[in-house]
A and B are shown apart, each in its own frame.
Chain A
Amino acid sequence: MKGYGVPKSLKDALPWAWAQERITKSHNYWLTTVRPDGSPHTMLVWGIWLDGAYYFSTGATSRKARNLQQNSNCVVCNESAEEAVIIEGTARKLGDSEIPSQAFSDYKAKYGWELDPNRGPVHVVRPKTVFAMPEKLFPKGVTRWKFE
């Protein structure tokens, strides 16, 4: 991040727990996918963070579902712009048997709604790179995590 005064040292970088707490507790999220013409599409989603991945469901014919079929790259972000956790990764549609049972109970506990693959396929986003952008700790707290 040239020009913003972000230090190159890792002193003051945030612990992963900082990011994990925010992406777990967020009520709303936004998800960005890319249309076949190269334009980004961003929409509000609900979902849960479980074992290092993000689970959400969407209508089978929704714009995001169609975009992800052609281009699995996406971005998910929590609801706090002043403590943004930006997750770059890839999304995959899950078969019913691939959905962890805890995803159903976590979703129900969080939103009071069933995570129902019959109403919309469940997708999992696996992170590749995660950025934490804490406004009040800017620039020292800006942190990036890479996932293998």
Chain B
Amino acid sequence: MALENTDIQNQLTEKFGESVSNFQQEGDLFAFEMTADSNTAVLLFLKNSEELRFHFLTSMFTIHYPDAATDRQFAIVYLLHNWYENKRIKIKAFVNGKTPEIKTVANIFPCANWMERESYDFYGVDFKGHPQLKRILNMDEMISFPMRKEFPMEDSGRTDKDDRFFGRTTINL
């Protein structure tokens, strides 16, 4: 029997109550939100539950929403996959824009280690308890977090190339 969305939703709301919310089918992905401080508990439950068996972390990344309310400016997105039932889900956890921090899941899914380092490197999200939270693709001396929306892609002092004529601005809004 295939794993139904309602089963997932019922089991999660029964166990976590208010911490999980906003369940919906987005295209071919079943999506919901969880509070940032429940992320390890929810993911551990999804991974180890006999019925749900979301044992594979496909990907984990961050999205920046600078215009949202302060406590919802960064979304940490987890894509989980159950290979037994061939079911994908997406979980979003929103964190504070001033001091973004969330617990690490590298101990639950070892592959999250570098993904979290990447999120730290590009967005400055602090993953509490991560064994080796340092920059991964950028150089260690860098002080900014380049994937944040306020970080301009191109040097604003450049005069040889005027993007206004091509319908682009240096900051994509």
* Physical interaction between A and B: no
Residues of A within 8 A of B (CB): none
